[in-house]
Amino acid sequence: MSTRRAYLLLTCAALLYSINGIVSKWVMEAGLSPWRLTEIRTTGSLVALLIYLAIKGRLPLLRPAKGEMGLLLLFGVIGIAAVQSFYFFSILRLHVSIALIIEFTAPIWIVLYLRFIKKVQIANSMWLGLVAAFIGLVLVGEVWKGLTLNGLGVISSFLDALSLAAYFVLGRELGKTRGTDTALVWGFGITSVLFAFVQPWWSFPFHIFSKQINLNGHFAGHHLPGWLLIIFIIIVGTVLPYLCVLAGVNALSPQAASIIGMLEPVLAGIFGWILLKETFTTIQLVGASVVLVGIFIANEKIPEGEKLEGEING
């Protein structure tokens, strides 16, 4: 695959993930909880990816290696279930772009993990990126006004960022024994089983499929059936971007892929402004820009030997 095509695929993934955040917010505002949306999204994606692996003849590769189950369980519970649940909970209470900006502090937590847990020496420019990102977060939150953002939403976003950082770490470890596609099937599978146990399917609010959901924001007053929006979330907002990422990362370095992934908060802000009529103060916009610059610097300077494989779940 050419480098240009890989960049295009990763850009498409960021675009689809950002649109998915808008559609997911519509569905949750219609009454489907973040945890139920995670349940239907992961289960639907699991089925779709199993079909994909069957077509590719890769189903035999799903067999776990000796001693691998513990890592697979952590990957499913933290790397998939926690990331998606906290993400949906966050965007229900925050502007989609702000929730994503906080989520994208994950590279910063990875750097802290490398420095203080793995004892890797970090360049001064890396610390500059960390400082810039945290200053940006202060501006985004306008903390001098008593934190204008929803407190639970902010906490959930930071938990999402930490879970996402764990996803990268766990994904790197799994990458030593299996491909990303089979790791994702295990992740979605474990998440689906976990949610089916905690929230049995017989209590699922199936009426959401037939409900006419109001498209709040620019399309207020217009409605679409719940089943159509949920299928969109599964196929367009999950399966397609994951496949784009899988193809793109194989042609580029994880570092380059993650940098392209930073387009997601920017695109989410654009779609939030266009579709949801979300507005921001000048200070918040400046803060968002500073956060993105800080994250870019931090991610760019991850030591060569410690780059982590994986990609964002949207």
What pLDDT, in 10s, does the model give residues 234-246? 999 988 887 787 6
Closest CA to 75 of 206, 197, 154, 187: 187
Euclidean distance between CA atoms 53 and 248, whole angstroms: 18
Q: Residue with structure tokens 């799903």?
A: 62
Q: Is the pLDDT of residue 199 over 50?
A: yes
Q: Within a domain: residue 312?
A: no
Q: Within a domain: residue 215?
A: yes
Q: Within a domain: residue 106?
A: yes
Q: Within a domain: residue 162?
A: yes
DSSP at 222: -
User: pLDDT tens digits for 122-169?
Assistant: 777 777 877 887 787 677 766 566 455 678 888 999 999 999 888 878
User: pLDDT tens digits for 19-45?
Assistant: 998 899 899 989 999 889 989 999 999
What is the pLDDT, as a whole number, of residue 212? 96
Confidence category of residue 311, pLDDT binned at 50, 70, 90: very low
| Full domain range(s) for residue 246 | 3-306
What is the pLDDT, as a whole number, of residue 252? 63
Closest CA to 210 of 195, 192, 229: 229
User: Of the ranges 204-213, 259-268, 294-303, which one carries the lowest mean pLDDT score?
Assistant: 294-303
DSSP at 33: -
Q: Within a domain: residue 278?
A: yes
Euclidean distance between CA atoms 215 and 221, whole angstroms: 7
Q: Within a domain: residue 313?
A: no
Secondary structure of residue 225 in the 3-state scheme: strand
Q: Within a domain: residue 65?
A: yes
Q: How high is the mean pLDDT of the chain?
A: 81
User: Which of the two residues, 248 and 257, has the higher pLDDT score?
Assistant: 248
Count of domains forming the chain: 1
Name, in order, each residue with C-beta under 8 angstroms of 34's C-beta and a sequence gap of 6 or more.
Answer: 28, 85, 88, 89, 92
User: pLDDT tens digits for 258-298?
Assistant: 666 667 777 777 787 778 777 777 887 888 788 778 777 76
Q: Within a domain: residue 314?
A: no
User: Of the ranges 83-87, 89-93, 261-265, which one carries the lowest mean pLDDT score?
Assistant: 261-265
Whether the CB-CB separation of 260 and 11 falls below 8 Å is answered with yes
Burial (CB < 10 A; 0-12, 13-18, 19+), residue 146, is exposed
